[in-house]
Structure formats: structure tokens, C-alpha cells
Amino acid sequence: MRGWRALTSTLLVSLGLSACGFQLRGATELPFSRIALEGFAPRSPLADELRRTLAQSAQVVATPAQAQVVLTALSDRRERSVVASTTAGQVRELTLRVRLGFKLTTPGGRELIPPTELLLSRDMSYLETYALGKEYEEAQLVKAMQSDIVDQLMRRLAHVKGITG
């Protein structure tokens, strides 16, 4: 009897989710098939994640001449600032930021997305006695913010108009 109730409730929940339009997010459909990336630092983790994400929907080419659109990074920075400390100078709270400035153009230079900046920040408590764990937490927060910026950028790229060829 208990198994029957669990099965029934699971079925009702899944029907409810499908009826409301819930659907797992798949690869983003882009209005272009070839894109070139410029202006990123050679070992930028954000550029690496962006390349992997773009590869699911478009071909990332080496030069703008091969591309339909060119994504130029105007800034790609990670920032860390102290926002609270003790009277003894020990850090108690940090603010972490991931910032991406970019523009999207055609290889001929026509602007499709004007210079835009995406900025995410997170506050994080800090205790020197847990330095190793806090270092790991900081890395995870930065990685999550980076993924969020890539997602936001992909949504913007999916809505670009006026691409030819």
C-alpha cells in the first residue's frame, strides 16, 4: 500500500511539472554557426568555459575572417576585496567579483551587441583558522559566478538579430 502511494504521488508530481511547461534546459540555439573569440587572456578560465559551452551550438573558429560573428572581450577580471576586518587587522569578510566586458560584431565591424559589462559579486565570511577551507569556498564561488556569466552571455547571444552569411 505504501509503495502504491509513493508511485501515485511521484506520477502526480511529474504530471504537474510537465503541465506547467517545465523542461530541462538544453543547448542554447544560436542565430549563427561560426564565432571567433578575441581579447581574452591566453589562460582565461572564463574563455575556456565559454568555448566549451559555445561548442555545443556553434563552431568556435580561430580567426574573425572565418566567423559570422566576433565576440571581443573588453575586460575579463576576478576581483577580491576586504570589506570587514578586526581591530587587529584580521580579515573577516570578503567581496568576490567576476567581471566580463564584451561586444559582439560582424567580421566587417558592424556592432550587434554594443559594449556591455556583466558583473557578479558575492560576499564571503573569512576566518584565518579555516584558511584552507575558505580558499576552496572562494574558488567554488568564483567558478559558480563564472558559469552564471557564461549562461547570461549565451542568452544574450541567442537573441542577436541582423546576422547574415
List, for residues 118-144, the tens digit of each pLDDT value. 999 999 888 777 777 888 999 999 999
Per-residue pLDDT for 156 more than 70? Answer: yes
Superfamily for domain range 2-158: Lipoprotein like domain (3.30.160.150)
Average predicted confidence (pLDDT) for the chain? 86
Q: How far is CA 141 from CA 22, 83, 94, 119, 164, in A?
A: 27, 17, 12, 14, 38
**Taking residues 51-57, what's their average pLDDT?**
95
CA nearest 53: which of 32, 28, 23? 28
Average confidence (pLDDT) over 69-92: 89
Q: Where are the domains of the chain?
A: 2-158
**pLDDT computed for residue 12 by the predictor:** 57
